[in-house]
Structure 1
């Protein structure tokens, strides 16, 4: 039961962190494209993402302590929590993440929507996303490869958050229809075109760091028996869903976006683009949930 809570709380933290980092980053690098359109949804989205993180991170600290201590009653004792925070990198990372989440809630509540708030959220979200390296398998690698695996894990988390946050923004742009939809359609077309370069870099980093992480967690020998372990089976599913996301992203970039930019009045193209972006965003949430499950499983390399 506690393990199920750990997985659920991990998933909530991954999604909230992706929004807290990737969404304001999108608002910054797409400001020229979306500036003419008044956007009412970013601040509430960021606020509730920060609130979810502020609730999930401390709860995850208690749940992880319960797994270590053997019971929830033991986990809520100050001594047990204190030992978790001061004696383990995982506990310290969760404590820092909790503090950053509460700071983000306060900042979003007090600062008016605009570049200043977006930059504050980007930096806070960056710290939160990077902290996942210390609550995952990356920090557990020992020896000369520790630094490389940890750095790869950090870059992997940041790239994923950047992509998922942008997908959330695109999904909101195609779902939220203001009184002047033609202006929003033009903004969407410009934003999609502008994201092409950043999206390509994010995907390239994800692929490269994914290979590095797999080399540490699966290894050459584990590759041939991948489906014999629970971790391996979830990894295969993650790769399949990631492949579907890449396919949709390619269709969006090379087919739907050019067609939509050429003819903004094309309802069929907009309909296809809307469905594709929403499905891609839904797949990204599914991948983050799978990553939450994988974080509780022993990787094949550790079993050799």
Structure 2
């Protein structure tokens, strides 16, 4: 039961962290400044995101301590929490995430939306996303491979947030789209077009950093472990889900976005184009959530490469 709680809280942190980084970054590059500032949805989304990161991180600290201590009662004891905070790398990371999220929440609540605010949130998201790498498998490699693996893991987290945070923004905009409103039509198309090149870059970095991570997490000598360990099967599932996301993203970029552009002058065709876009973005979001759930489980398991050490 505690293990399921840890996985659920990891998923909540992952999901909120990608929005904390990717969504304000999207507002900076994906839309014109005036159009971005005219949007009313970012503030409530960012408030919810910061709150989820803070609560899930604090709860994650207690849950992870409880797993190590053997029960929730033991995990709530000051001595157990104190050891987690001062005697491990996980404890400080949980506190760091919670503290940054609370500071970001205060910023969003106490200041008006602005490009400067979004820049600060991007920095907060970069730190929060990187913290998952430096307390996870990416930091466990010893010897000369330590820093290459850690850098690869951090880049993997950042590029995933770049993609998935923008996906959350695009789905929100498409869901709130007002059919027949020329301004809404233009802004939605601009958002799709603005993300297309950045999305391709994010996918390329994900693939390259994923290869680096797989070299350390699996390795050539232990490639057979992909079909003999739970971690290996989950990695295969992750790759399958990633392939589905690539296919959906390619359809959005090369088919649905141009289709919307050509339908801007025809209200009936535009409604059909936006409906198809909403459906595609919704499916891509569901696949992304499934992928994050798989990653949350993988983070609790020993990698295939650990077979070399008999772990």
TM-score norm. by structure 2 comes to: 0.93
Q: Tell me which moved more, 71-80 or 246-255.
A: 71-80
Note if 1:288 corresponds to 2:297. no
1:195 and 1:250 mapped to 2: Cα distance? 12
Which position in structure 2 is the counterpart of 1:273? Answer: 277
Which position in structure 1 is the counterpart of 2:31? Answer: 31
Say which SS state the counterpart of residue 222 (structure 2) adopts.
Answer: helix
1:212 and 1:285 mapped to 2: Cα distance? 23
Say which SS state the counterpart of residue 220 (structure 1) adopts.
Answer: coil
Note if 1:97 corresponds to 2:101. no
Contiguous gaps of at least 5 residues in structure 2: none
Say which SS state the counterpart of residue 285 (structure 2) adopts.
Answer: helix
1:124 and 1:33 mapped to 2: Cα distance? 21
Deviations 1:51-99 (A, max 9, x none): 1111100111111111122222222122221221122112111111111
2:306 and 2:272 mapped to 1: Cα distance? 50
TM-score norm. by structure 1 comes to: 0.96
How many angstroms does 1:194 deviate by?
1.6
2:144 and 2:53 mapped to 1: Cα distance? 33
Say which SS state the counterpart of residue 261 (structure 1) adopts.
Answer: helix
Deviations 1:224-275 (A, max 9, x none): 2312111111111111111010001111111111121122232222221121
Note if 1:117 corresponds to 2:117. yes
- 1:50-199 equivalences under 5 Å are 50-178=50-178, 181-199=181-199
Say which SS state the counterpart of residue 112 (structure 2) adopts.
Answer: coil
How many angstroms does 1:182 deviate by?
2.9
2:112 and 2:31 mapped to 1: Cα distance? 16
- 1:41-52 equivalences under 5 Å are 41-52=41-52
How many angstroms does 1:37 deviate by?
7.9
How many angstroms does 1:150 deviate by?
0.8
How many angstroms does 1:19 deviate by?
0.7
2:34 and 2:248 mapped to 1: Cα distance? 23
Deviations 1:272-300 (A, max 9, x none): 11211121122111111110011011111
Note if 1:227 corresponds to 2:227. yes
Contact conserved, 1:37 with 1:187, CA < 8 A, in 2? no
Contact conserved, 2:62 with 2:76, CA < 8 A, in 1? yes
1:286 and 1:36 mapped to 2: Cα distance? 29
Say which SS state the counterpart of residue 107 (structure 1) adopts.
Answer: helix
Contact conserved, 2:10 with 2:60, CA < 8 A, in 1? yes
Contact conserved, 1:21 with 1:161, CA < 8 A, in 2? yes
Question: Structure 1 182/33 Cα, relative in aligned 2: closer, same or farther at 3 Å?
Answer: farther
Which position in structure 2 is the counterpart of 1:298? Answer: 302
1:145 and 1:241 mapped to 2: Cα distance? 28
Contiguous gaps of at least 5 residues in structure 1: none
How many angstroms does 1:179 deviate by?
8.1
Q: Tell me which moved more, 12-21 or 265-274.
A: 265-274
- 1:8-19 equivalences under 5 Å are 8-19=8-19
Say which SS state the counterpart of residue 221 (structure 1) adopts.
Answer: coil
